Each structure stands twice: as structure tokens, then as C-alpha cells.
Amino acid sequence: MGFFSEYHPFSIVSKLARVAQLRDRRVRRRIRDIIAEELFGDAVSLFTLLGINIVGVLVGLRYYIDTMAAVPTFLWPFYANSPVAVAFATVALSTLVPTVGSGGRATETPVNNPLTYLHTVTFVWLVKYGLWPLAALNLRPEAYIGAVGKLWYWGVLSSHLLFVGLALLLPAVSRTSRGALAAALGLSLLTDFVSYGLGYHPPLGYDPGIVLPAITVGLSLLSTAVAGRSFRRLPRSVSSRADW
């Protein structure tokens, strides 16, 4: 009986109706806020995530460390893209500690101008460099799968896609502004110039040519646009104050 009730036409219609609700932006935001509160709103979970991120920074740096000597020191933040993205995420999540540690809800963390800039830049970096390996590795997959094996290849892709998942939760605990979006886009494009204009791009097994730089610039634009749609705006009453 349970089998037939599960697949009863009215049951199927009800399930389809719930799926259709996901087209409503407000519904998606409520779901996002619930997930963010579960992940960030518990002190144990938050500190565990911070610890994982710190390990992620160190593991990511291992990929760049052998080539960093050839890069001017002041350009290192523009060179080690993925570890910098995770470092941004670590700092951004650390701003939730006072609220969560005092028993407050992560989604009710106070916001101000500096935090909008930090969280917006973090979002853009996580989305951009979460998706970047999909292009970088798949333009010439034989340069990686043949050299280091399929396990490394799939490990890099899957771990970087987690960047995107983390980024999509950040708007639940912060806001953005036009200034923050402009700053994030400007920094992202500056990083692209350092990578491909000056030639200090992440280590690759092939010449990036024109296609990869074009895709990377496209990701800068895309990730900023997604940030603009994902974050709610910082209220004018807050953005107009001198919070710096």
C-alpha cells in the first residue's frame, strides 16, 4: 500500500509542486539560509570548517611553492589563486565567530562596509577559482591525467567545486554594495592581468595561449555578476556611515 501511495498521481503532483517552488527566489534564499545556519551557526561546526580551510590553504600552497621563487614577492597574492581564495574564506568565516560564540544566529551577524567588501571579494574568488580548474584542466586533460593520474585530476576538480558551494552560502550571512562589487571585479581583473598580461599565471602543463585567459576574464565577470544576484544589498543607513 505504501508503494502505491508514494506513486499516487496526487502525491507526484504534490512533489512536483514543491520542486516548482524552487523557481521562487525567496524560497531558494530561505533554503540557503537554513543550510548556512546549520553549517555556520554551530560553534563546533564553524571551528571545524575553519580548521579544514587552514589545512586547505597549506595543501594549496604546496602546489605553488616550487615556482613561487620566480615570482616577485609582492605578486604572490595574485599568483597563488586557489590558496588565496581559501584564505579569504577563512577570514570571512572568522568574522562570524563573535556572533556564533555568543550564542547568536550566524544569519543575524551584524554587517558593515568593511565586511561587505571582504565577503564580496571572498565570494568572487571562491566562485572564480572553484570553476577555473574546469577550464584549465579540461583544455588539455592529457597534460594532467597522463602525468599525475586520474585520482589527482578528479580530486582537484571536486575539491575546487566545494569552493563554489561555500561561496553560495556566504550571502546568507552578509550583504554587498556597488562599491564592494566594483572592488571585487577590479581586483579580479587585476589578478587576470598579473596572470596572463605579466605571465605569472598558476603552474600549467601547457601554454595558456588565448583561450584560457579569455575564459578566466569571463569567470571574473561571471562570478561578480553571480555575487550581485546572490547578495542582498547593504542598507543605505549602514553604508552611509563611516564604518572604516
pLDDT in tens, 55-86: 999 998 988 998 999 999 999 999 999 999 99
Mean pLDDT (whole number) for 100-123 = 94
Question: How does DSSP classify residue 65?
Answer: T
Share of the chain above pLDDT 70, in %: 83
pLDDT score, position 22: 53
pLDDT score, position 167: 96
* Residue with grid cell 597522463, as numbered in its chain: 146
Is residue 130 scored above 60 in pLDDT? yes
Give residue 105's identity as a one-letter amino acid code: R
* Cβ-contact 179, 117 below 8 angstroms: yes
* Cβ-contact 163, 34 below 8 angstroms: no
Spatial distance between the Cα atoms of 184 and 122, rounded to a whole number of angstroms? 8
pLDDT tens-digit map of 178-231: 999 999 999 999 999 999 999 999 888 788 889 999 999 999 999 999 999 999
Report domain extents, the chain: 24-236
Mean pLDDT (whole number) for 156-171 = 93
What are the two backbone dihedrals, phi and then psi, of residue 80, each rounded to the nearest 5 degrees?
A: -85, 70
Residues 6+ apart with CB under 8 A from 36: 106, 107, 169, 170, 172, 173
CA quadruple 12, 17, 22, 24: dihedral, nearest 10: 170
Is residue 239 scored above 60 in pLDDT? no
Least confident of 2-16, 49-63, 128-142, 144-158: 2-16
Is residue 9 scored above 80 in pLDDT? no
Indicate the average pLDDT of the chain: 86
Is residue 10 scored above 50 in pLDDT? no
